C-alpha cells in the first residue's frame, strides 16, 4: 500500500487532487482512499489532504503518519511547513518549485531523499491563466510514481471539470514532460 500526503493552501484544490488520484486508481482497478484533513479549513492557510493506493482492499481508517509520497502544490510552503515530515525512507517528495535541486534540498533542511521538481506555477499560468497547480501537479505525480495511468487520470479530470477539463489535461501532460527526478 502506498500512502500519499498532499500539501497545499486552502482553495488550491489539494483535496480535489487527492480525490482525483483515488478516482483514477479505482477506475484502473486498484483500491484507493482519499480524504481531507478533517476540520475547519481557511482559504490561503496551509492544508493537507491524503490518499492511499493498494492492489488489495484497504482496511484502515488511521490518519497517514509516514507517507511514501508527498506532493506539494504550493511553492511557498516548504519554507514555512516541514513538508517532508514523516516521509518514509525511500519515499519521494514531489514539489512545485522554480528552484534548482540544490537550492530546494537546502530549503528542505538538507533533504537527502528522492526528489521530483516541476515549475507547476509557470505551467498553470501559461495553460490555465491562473496559478492553481493542483491538476498540473497530478502530472508530476504520475511521472514520479507511475501509480496511475495518464489515460485514467485524463478521464477522471474530464468527469470532474467538464468543459474546463481540456486545459487542465494539457497542463497535466506538460508536467508529465517537464518534471525532473533526482536521486
Residues engaged in binding other proteins (CB under 8 A): 18-19, 22-23, 25-27, 31-36, 38-40, 58-63
- Residue 166 C-beta: closest distance to other proteins, Å: 22
Q: Indicate the residue among 59 and 79 with the shorter CB distance to other proteins.
A: 59
Is 5:48 a contact under the CB 8 Å cutoff? Answer: yes
Closest Cα to residue 32, out of 19, 41, 43? 19
Q: Indicate the residue among 61 and 163 with the shorter CB distance to other proteins.
A: 61
- 180: its cell numbers: 525532473
Q: Indicate the residue among 75 and 134 with the shorter CB distance to other proteins.
A: 134
Q: Indicate the residue among 16 and 121 with the shorter CB distance to other proteins.
A: 16
- Residue 30 C-beta: closest distance to other proteins, Å: 9
Q: How far, in Å, are 6, 28, 95, 107, 125 from residue 134 at the CA level?
A: 10, 21, 11, 22, 12
- Residue 16 C-beta: closest distance to other proteins, Å: 10
- Residue 34 C-beta: closest distance to other proteins, Å: 4
Amino acid at each position: 500500500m502506498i500512502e500519499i500526503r498532499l500539501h497545499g493552501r486552502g482553495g488550491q484544490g489539494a483535496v480535489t487532487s487527492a480525490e482525483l488520484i483515488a478516482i483514477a486508481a479505482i477506475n484502473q482497478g486498484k483500491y484507493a482512499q482519499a480524504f481531507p484533513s478533517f476540520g475547519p479549513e481557511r482559504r490561503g492557510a496551509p492544508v493537507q489532504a491524503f490518499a492511499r493506493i493498494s492492489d488489495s482492499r484497504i482496511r484502515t481508517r488511521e490518519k497517514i503518519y509516514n507517507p511514501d509520497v508527498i506532493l506539494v502544490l504550493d511553492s511557498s510552503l516548504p519554507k514555512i511547513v516541514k513538508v517532508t515530515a514523516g516521509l518514509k525512507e525511500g519515499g519521494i517528495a514531489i514539489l512545485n518549485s522554480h528552484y534548482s535541486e540544490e537550492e530546494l534540498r537546502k530549503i528542505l533542511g538538507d533533504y537527502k531523499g528522492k526528489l521530483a521538481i516541476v515549475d507547476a506555477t509557470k505551467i498553470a499560468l501559461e495553460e490555465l491563466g491562473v496559478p492553481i497547480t493542483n491538476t498540473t501537479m497530478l502530472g508530476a505525480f504520475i511521472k514520479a510514481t507511475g501509480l496511475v495511468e495518464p489515460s485514467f487520470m485524463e478521464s477522471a479530470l474530464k468527469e470532474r471539470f467538464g468543459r474546463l477539463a481540456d486545459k487542465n489535461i494539457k497542463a497535466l501532460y506538460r508536467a508529465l514532460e517537464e518534471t525532473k527526478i533526482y536521486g
